[in-house]
Amino acid sequence: MTVPTVPHAEVTVDLSAIRDNVARLAQAAGSAATMAVVKADGYGHGLVPAAQAARAGGARWLGTAVLAEAIALREAGVDGRVLAWLAAPGEDYDTALTADIDLAAYATWQLDEIAAAARRTGVEARIHLKADTGLGRGGVMPADWQDTVEHALALESHGTVRLVGVWTHFAYADAPGHPTIAAQLDTFGDAVARAEKAGADLEVRHAANSAATLTLPDAHFDLVRPG
């Protein structure tokens, strides 16, 4: 008996809707640039098609969770700034740097790994330091922030990395008025101020996810990250 191979489900993705939704989010972001987050295969909509639609809608940046996703975008010919923010020890930073991908960092050991890749490839790494402002899901804790910033700036003085961004992520941005939002904004503002006082010349500060892009203009800063 031959078992039929008819699929049990079919998904039809309207790429023009993704394009138009990104355009609407970019409008809501005002003067801030828009990073369309296309992690997890574009949230199941197809990594490359979703990224291309987002770029057509005005996304100047793209965001991925892991490096493999960012590299896949480059291999497909997707241009523009791309930030990848999850990594494990021993990550292939050489390929990431030669593919012109921005990298998030959370600790001094990770900064050292990225700097080593920069020395091997001759490509200066663009770094976004993530401050854990209360979510508890990755990022530099406040007690370690000053040392981590100073470590990044020391590497920057050697020409291996450039600290271009400071960022964070909200715990309850989808609950407007939740007290953690204001608390996280205060902590983030302090982290940015301390980085700049230490000598960081930041290109972008970013915190707003999808909900904050729509409901929290005070969190737009230089860049928003709707998914």
DSSP 4: P
Per-residue pLDDT averaged across 38-62, rounded? 97
The half-sphere exposure of 42 on its side-chain side, counting CA atoms within 13 A, is 18
Confidence of residue 212 (pLDDT cuts 50, 70, 90): very high
* C-alpha–C-alpha distance, residues 140 and 111, integer Å: 12
Residues 6+ apart with CB under 8 A from 72: 47, 48
Max distance between CA atoms of the chain, in angstroms, equals 73
| Confidence bin at 186 (pLDDT 50/70/90) | very high
Look at residue 11 in the predicted model and tell me its pLDDT: 81
Check: pTM over 0.85? Answer yes or no: yes
Asked if residues 166 and 200 have their Cβ atoms less than 8 Å apart, the reply is yes
Q: What is the pLDDT of residues 86-118, one digit of tens each?
A: 999 999 999 999 999 999 999 999 999 999 999
Residue count (the chain): 227
Q: What percent of the chain is predicted at pLDDT more than 90?
A: 93
Tell me the residue type at 78: V
Give residues with Cβ within 8 angstroms of 70, minimum separation 6. 62, 64, 82, 83, 84, 96, 99, 101
Contact call for residues 162 and 115 (beta carbons, < 8 A): no
pLDDT tens-digit map of 142-159 = 999 999 999 999 999 999
What residues pair up with 64 in beta bridges, in sequence order?
84
